[in-house]
Amino acid sequence: MKTNLTNFVYARTIPVCAALACLLLLGLAPIAGQKANLPSQPPAAPASRPAGVSNVMVYVKMVIERKYGILAHIVGKRDYTERDIVYDAQKSWWDNPLVAYADAPFVRDDAPLAHTDVVGETDAETIAGASRSSNADVALTLIPHAVVTLRSTPRSDCIKGTITVSIDTVDDYFDGAWTELVRTIDKPLTFSFDTCDPGRQLEQIVHETRTIPTFAVERYTRDHEKWESRSHWPNEFRTGDTRVVIYGRDATLNVTGYRYAAR
């Protein structure tokens, strides 16, 4: 269902789960129905945070490569690569990468980067997997990406910092049966950003440490159609369908704003 980006982002924040609940989310306990190997639907919770100097958005760039065998080509299947790697605030969610979390300005503003001192962007470690069935070879690449903005008084010239988070993900595709591409449990990721000129002397202006709410991303893709979240996924499966589920928790932002010392 193609809902707007505001509903999309806020529907993806979830409460912190205990260890046993996380095992259930990752499909390590039986779940009724044909989606037994995927995490169960997490309860939704509203996003909220105290006012601060920073704003954060975390999204996941995704590349899916499908290469079909001779028989699949005969019945009309064609090799193709789908890339969702460039985020554009002017586009709808289904034309963007998977937005995992976004503070309010990224959701509500048409130009969220216009009223900020500094913007830092960085990728975390790439998550990749591949598998083969009787009809196709499928490869999936996930690239977590973070955008951090900061506004301070006095104005900051640059920022340094990190975001740390633990993620679980289960991703698979359908070719008569669901074939797993990627499964990770409690995988630590670190986003490190530094926009400062190493040749300039720095004066610290502001520092902020805060917790980022837990989040969930759930995307079902069929050719060029996409559904989010799981409650909107189709009930009938077709060859070539892919499912991506990512849960993030224990995320912490540490960011420091600096100005350049007078020469």
pLDDT tens-place string over residues 122-144: 999 999 988 887 777 888 899 99
Instruction: Domain ranges for the chain, please list them.
Output: 5-28+35-260
Round to the nearest angstrom and report the end-to-end CA distance of the chain.
Answer: 56
pLDDT tens-place string over residues 59-86: 999 888 877 666 656 666 666 677 777 8
* E strands, the chain, in order: 54-68, 80-84, 98-102, 118-123, 127-132, 136-150, 158-174, 178-194, 202-212, 215-222, 225-227, 242-260
pLDDT for the residue numbered 68: 67
What is the number of other CB atoms lying within 10 angstroms of the CB of residue 197? Answer: 12
* The CA-based dihedral angle spanning residues 199, 201, 203, 207, taken in that order and rounded to the nearest 10 degrees: 30
pLDDT tens-place string over residues 11-58: 333 333 333 333 333 433 333 333 334 544 443 433 444 446 899 999
Cβ contact 87:198 at 8 Å: no
Instruction: Tell me how far CA of residue 1 lies from CA of 61, 83, 231, 239, in angstroms.
Output: 20, 20, 9, 20
